[in-house]
C-alpha cells in the first residue's frame, strides 16, 4: 500500500467463502503495511484472503477477497520488471490527505537495495528502482539509502514540503456584443449582448476542507446568464451517447472521470473526513435497511454528517444522511431473469448517465424471498449503453440458483437468479412535478449494537408515497448476528418490469395504492462463538408483509408471511448434517411448507456421498399442480480423482405423492473438468418424471478482460407465456465472448 503514514496497523484475514452458514473468518494475522507474513493455511472449502489496515480511530480500508491458490499476475508478463500497483480496495473509510512523493533511482549495481519511505526494494536488472508513498501535508525529510551488494552504502536526504492548501481552477468567459443592420422599417437595427460563463475549481484548504465547484451558465443573453443556472439541461442526452459507437479504436487506455456530476449548470461539494454537503447529481443510499432500500439518482441537495469514532465493524458511532430534490426523471426497476448469456435489454432507453444500480439476486422461485444479493461494479462486472439501454455483463448469468442441489424439483435448480437494474430515465413527453425527500439516522450505541431510522417522501405525480421505518442490528461476528426491522409505506411506489428472456419482452407489475406495514427478523449463530466446544451454525428468519406495502423488492396486494430455520451441524471431521425448514403463507388460502434433512460424508479423500430426505406440503387453488404433498429421497456419489476433475451420479425418488403435486423422480450424471489454466467444461444430464433435462457450459476465462463461452440448457419445466413446454422446445443455446 502507498499510504502507510495514515494507518496504525494491518491484518491479513483468511476466509472460508463457502463455510456452513456463510463466509467465515478462519484466521487473523497481524501484518504491517508492505511487510510479509508466513502462515499455515487452516482447513476450509474455498479459502480466500483480504488485507485490512486501520487508523487511530479504528476506521479501516479492506481489499476484495482473493482466492488462495489462484494466479495473481493480473495479466503482467514480467512481474519482476512491470509496474505492480493496482487498487483492489473494496471498503474505504480512512481519510487520506496529502501528496504523493516518488523516489526514482537508476544506474545501480545488480542486487543493490534501496531503503526509503519505510520500505526496502531491490533494483531491477537494469539498475532502476521506484517507490511512491502518500505523505501528510507539511515539511518532510526523505532519507534515501542505497546498499550495494558488497555491503557499502550511501545516503541522500531531501527536504520536501507538501502544501497544506492547494487549488486548481479554470474559467472561461465568452461574450458577444453587436447590432443588426437591417432591423426595421425605419432602417434602424437591434443591439444584442450574449455570452457564456463557465468554470471549474477544486482544492483543499489548510483546515483539510476539500471544495469542488463547477458552474456553467450556458449561452444566453447577458441579463439572463445566471437566472437559469440551477435548471436541468434538456440536451444532456449528448453525455449519454456511447463513445464506442463513434470511435472504434482508441490510442490509449484512459478512463473518463466525471468529478462534478450535475444535470444543471451548477455543482458544489464541500467535504472533510467523510462529512460533506453537495448540490448536484447524487445517488441516495440507505445502508443498513432492507425493507426501505433506496437506490435513486437525483439532482438536488444532499448532506452526510458522521462521527470520526467508529465501532468494531468500522461504522461511525453516529451518521446522518439527508437529501432533497425535484426530479424531472422517473425511476425504473427491471427484474431480468438470467438467460445464461451476457447481454440484457432494459425496458427504457435514454438512461441518465451513472444512475444505474445493478445487483444479482438469488430468490426463492415460489415465495420470491431474497436469499442473497451481490452488487455489480461498472467497468469490473458490466458495461452499459445509456442511449439504447443495453447491459453487457463480463460473465454469463445463469437463470438458476442452487443448481446441482441434492433435493431439487428442477435439475437445473429450484431458485432463480435475476439481474436487478435500478435506474433513472427521462420521458420524451410530459412534465414531472413534485419533490423527493429522504433522511436516515444510524447510531452505533455500542460496539455490537446499531439502531437506525429511515424516512422518505416521494411526490412526483406518478408516485405519491411516504415511507418510514426503524431497524436494529446486533453483530458479534460475520457468523453471529441479529437483525430486526419494521417499515410502513403509504401510497403507491413505482412498480417494476419482469422479463424471462433477457428484456426482449416484459411484464409490468403496478404498485398497490394503499398502506401497509412490513416486519423482518433474521438471526444466525455460530455455536462455537456461543459456548466452548460448540460446532456448526443455526439460523432463523421471519418476514411479514401487509397488504398495500410497496418497496423495491415487493409489491404486496394480499398479506404474506414467511418464516423458517436452518442448522448446519458437523457430526465428525468427515460427516455433516443440515436441517432446513421454510413456511410461506399468502392470505387467504395459499400456503407451502418445505423441510429437508441432508447428510454429507467424506468416505475418502477422493470419494464422498450425500443422502437427503425432503417433504413438501403445498396449497394453491389457483395452480394446476400446487396442491398436495410429497416425500423425496435422494442420494449422490461424488468422485474427485484430481483437482482438475470432479464427477458425480445421483438419483431421486418421490414417495407418498398426493394431490396435484408433480412426481420428482430423476437420475443423472454430471461433473466439471478444468482442461488447462483457462478452459473448462461443466454440465449435467438427467431424466425423470417431467422429462429429460440438462445443462452444459464450455468456456475460457483467460483473464479479467477476455473470455468466451458456449452453453446449452434443457429445462423440463420451462414455460413461455404460461405454456408448459416440458422440454419439447429442445432447450436453448447461448454463446458469447468479450475481448479488450
711 and 340 Cβ atoms separated by less than 8 Å: yes
What is d(CA 601, CA 643) in angstroms, rounded to the nearest whole number?
Answer: 19
CA 712 to chain centre: 27
Distances (CA, A) of 334 to 552, 719, 722: 10, 20, 20
Backbone angles phi, psi at 274, to 5 degrees: 85, -10
| Secondary structure of residue 6 in the 3-state scheme | helix
Q: Considering only CA atoms, which of 567, 661, 560, 561 is closest in space to residue 615?
A: 661
Instruction: Map grid coordinates 465428525 to a residue.
Output: 572
Residues contacting residue 418 through CB under 8 Å, at least 6 positions apart: 335, 336, 337, 338, 360, 361, 363
Q: Does the pLDDT of residue 78 top 50, yes or no? A: no
What is d(CA 740, CA 134) in angstroms, rounded to the nearest whole number?
Answer: 32
Query: Which DSSP string corresponds to 133-198?
Result: EEE-SEEEEEEEEEE-TTS-EEEEEEEEEE-S-EEEEEEEEEEEEEE-SS-STTS---EEEEEEEE
**Least confident stretch, 144-153, 311-320, 493-502, 677-686:** 311-320
Backbone angles phi, psi at 4, to 5 degrees: -65, -20
What is d(CA 541, CA 520) in angstroms, rounded to the nearest whole number?
Answer: 8
Sorting pLDDT into bands at 50, 70 and 90, what band is 84? low
Q: Does the pLDDT of residue 364 top 90, yes or no? A: no
Q: Does the pLDDT of residue 737 top 80, yes or no? A: no
Q: Identify the residue with better confidence: 568 or 427.
A: 568
Sorting pLDDT into bands at 50, 70 and 90, what band is 462? low
Q: Considering only CA atoms, which of 168, 219, 223, 152 is closest in space to residue 191?
A: 223
What is d(CA 740, CA 738) in angstroms, rounded to the nearest whole number?
Answer: 7
What is d(CA 549, CA 514) in angstroms, rounded to the nearest whole number?
Answer: 7
Q: Does the pLDDT of residue 237 top 50, yes or no? A: no
- Integer distance in angstroms from the first to the last C-alpha of the chain? 28
What is d(CA 333, CA 498) in angstroms, rounded to the nearest whole number?
Answer: 9
> Across residues 707-713, what is the average pLDDT?
84
Q: Does the pLDDT of residue 11 top 50, yes or no? A: yes
Backbone angles phi, psi at 520, to 5 degrees: -145, 130
| Secondary structure of residue 416 in the 3-state scheme | strand
Name the percent of the chain in helix, strand, coil, to the closest 5: 0, 55, 45
* Residues recorded for the chain: 740
Q: Would you state the cell numbers that stand for residue 113, as one nine-digit string?
A: 537495495
Residues contacting residue 555 through CB under 8 Å, at least 6 positions apart: 493, 495, 496, 509, 510, 511, 512
Radius of gyration (C-alpha) of the chain in whole angstroms: 30
10 and 94 Cβ atoms separated by less than 8 Å: no
Q: Identify the residue with better confidence: 633 or 528.
A: 633
- State residue 576's pLDDT score: 92
What is d(CA 198, CA 207) in angstroms, rounded to the nearest whole number?
Answer: 27
**Least confident stretch, 29-33, 82-86, 587-591, 675-679:** 82-86
67 and 88 Cβ atoms separated by less than 8 Å: no
**Is this structure's pTM higher than 0.85?**
no
What is d(CA 343, CA 391) in angstroms, rounded to the nearest whole number?
Answer: 6
Count the Cβ atoms, other than its own, within 10 Å of residue 243.
Answer: 8
b (16+ CB within 10 A) / e for 14-53? bbbeebbbbebebbeeebebbeeeeeeeeebeebbbbbbb
Q: State pLDDT tens for residues 160-211.
A: 999 888 899 999 988 888 887 765 555 556 788 888 888 999 999 988 899 9
Amino acid at each position: 500500500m502507498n499510504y502507510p503514514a495514515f494507518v496504525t496497523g494491518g491484518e491479513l484475514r483468511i476466509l472460508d467463502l463457502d463455510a456452513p452458514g456463510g463466509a467465515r473468518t478462519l484466521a487473523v494475522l497481524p501484518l504491517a503495511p508492505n511487510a510479509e507474513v508466513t502462515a499455515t493455511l487452516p482447513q476450509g472449502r474455498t479459502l480466500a484472503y483480504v488485507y485490512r489496515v486501520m487508523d487511530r480511530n479504528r476506521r479501516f480500508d479492506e481489499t476484495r477477497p482473493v482466492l488462495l491458490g489462484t494466479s495473481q499476475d493480473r495479466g503482467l508478463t514480467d512481474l519482476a520488471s512491470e509496474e505492480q500497483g493496482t487498487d483492489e480496495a473494496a471498503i474505504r473509510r480512512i481519510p487520506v490527505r496529502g501528496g504523493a512523493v516518488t523516489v526514482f533511482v537508476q544506474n545501480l549495481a545488480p542486487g543493490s537495495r534501496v531503503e526509503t519511505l519505510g520500505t526496502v526494494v531491490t533494483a531491477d536488472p537494469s539498475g532502476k528502482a521506484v517507490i511512491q508513498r502518500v505523505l501528510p501535508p507539511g515539511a518532510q525529510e526523505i532519507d534515501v539509502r542505497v546498499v550495494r551488494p558488497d555491503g557499502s552504502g550511501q545516503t541522500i536526504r531531501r527536504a520536501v514540503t507538501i502544501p497544506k492548501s492547494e487549488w486548481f481552477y479554470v474559467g472561461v468567459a465568452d461574450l458577444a456584443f453587436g447590432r443588426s443592420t437591417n432591423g426595421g422599417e425605419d432602417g434602424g437595427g437591434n443591439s444584442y449582448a450574449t455570452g457564456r460563463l463557465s468554470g471549474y475549481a477544486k482544492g483543499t484548504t489548510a483546515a483539510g476542507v476539500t471544495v469542488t465547484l463547477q458552474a456553467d451558465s450556458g449561452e444566453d443573453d447577458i441579463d439572463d446568464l445566471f437566472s437559469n443556472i440551477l435548471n436541468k439541461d434538456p440536451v444532456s442526452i449528448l453525455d449519454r451517447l456511447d463513445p464506442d459507437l463513434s470511435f472504434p479504436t482508441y490510442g490509449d487506455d484512459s478512463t473518463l472521470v466525471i468529478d462534478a456530476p450535475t444535470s444543471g449548470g451548477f455543482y458544489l461539494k464541500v467535504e472533510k473526513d467523510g462529512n460533506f454537503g453537495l448540490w448536484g447529481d447524487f445517488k441516495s443510499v440507505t445502508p443498513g435497511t432492507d425493507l426501505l432500500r433506496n437506490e435513486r439518482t437525483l439532482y438536488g441537495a444532499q448532506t452526510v454528517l458522521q462521527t470520526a469514532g467508529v465501532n468494531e465493524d468500522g461504522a461511525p458511532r453516529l451518521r446522518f444522511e439527508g437529501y432533497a430534490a425535484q426530479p424531472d426523471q422517473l425511476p425504473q426497476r427491471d427484474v431480468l431473469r438470467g438467460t445464461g448469456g451476457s447481454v440484457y435489454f432494459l425496458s427504457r432507453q435514454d438512461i441518465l448517465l451513472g444512475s444505474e444500480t445493478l445487483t444479482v439476486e438469488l430468490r426463492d422461485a415460489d415465495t420470491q424471498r431474497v436469499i442473497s444479493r451481490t452488487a455489480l461494479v461498472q467497468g469490473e462486472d458490466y458495461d452499459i449503453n445509456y442511449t439504447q439501454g443495453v447491459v453487457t455483463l463480463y460473465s454469463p448469468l445463469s437463470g438458476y440458483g442452487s443448481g446441482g442441489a441434492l433435493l431439487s424439483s428442477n435439475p437445473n435448480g429450484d431458485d432463480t437468479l435475476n439481474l436487478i437494474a435500478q435506474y433513472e430515465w427521462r420521458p420524451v413527453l410530459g412534465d414531472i412535478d413534485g419533490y423527493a425527500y429522504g433522511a436516515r439516522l444510524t447510531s452505533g450505541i455500542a460496539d455490537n449494537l446499531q439502531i437506525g431510522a429511515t424516512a422518505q417522501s416521494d411526490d412526483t405525480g406518478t408516485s405519491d408515497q411516504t415511507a418510514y421505518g426503524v431497524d436494529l442490528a446486533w453483530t458479534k461476528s460475520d457468523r453471529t448476528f441479529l437483525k430486526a426491522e419494521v417499515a410502513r409505506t403509504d401510497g403507491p411506489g413505482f412498480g417494476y418490469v419482469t422479463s424471462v428472456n433477457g428484456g426482449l419482452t416484459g411484464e409490468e407489475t403496478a404498485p398497490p395504492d394503499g398502506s401497509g406495514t412490513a416486519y423482518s427478523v433474521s438471526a444466525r449463530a455460530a455455536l462455537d462463538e456461543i459456548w466452548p466446544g460448540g460446532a456448526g451454525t443455526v439460523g432463523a428468519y421471519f418476514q411479514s408483509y401487509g397488504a398495500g406495502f410497496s418497496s423495491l423488492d415487493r409489491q404486496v396486494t394480499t398479506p404474506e408471511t414467511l418464516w423458517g430455520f436452518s442448522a448446519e451441524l458437523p457430526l465428525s471431521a468427515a460427516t455433516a448434517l443440515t436441517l432446513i425448514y421454510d413456511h410461506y403463507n399468502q392470505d387467504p388460502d395459499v400456503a407451502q411448507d418445505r423441510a429437508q434433512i441432508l447428510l454429507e460424508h467424506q468416505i475418502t479423500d477422493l470419494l464422498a456421498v450425500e443422502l437427503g430426505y425432503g417433504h413438501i406440503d403445498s396449497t394453491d387453488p389457483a395452480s394446476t399442480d400446487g396442491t398436495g404433498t410429497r416425500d423425496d429421497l435422494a442420494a449422490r456419489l461424488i468422485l474427485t480423482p484430481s483437482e482438475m476433475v470432479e464427477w458425480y451420479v445421483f438419483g431421486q425418488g418421490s414417495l407418498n405423492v398426493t394431490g396435484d403435486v408433480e412426481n420428482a423422480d430423476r437420475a443423472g450424471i454430471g461433473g466439471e473438468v478444468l482442461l488447462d489454466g483457462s478452459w473448462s467444461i461443466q454440465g449435467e444430464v438427467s431424466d425423470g418424471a417431467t422429462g429429460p433435462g440438462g445443462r452444459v457450459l464450455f468456456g475460457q476465462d483467460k483473464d479479467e478482460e477476455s473470455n468466451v463461452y458456449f452453453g446449452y440448457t434443457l429445462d423440463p419445466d420451462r414455460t413461455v407465456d404460461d405454456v408448459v413446454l416440458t422440454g419439447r422446445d429442445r432447450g436453448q443455446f447461448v454463446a458469447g465472448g468479450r475481448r479488450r
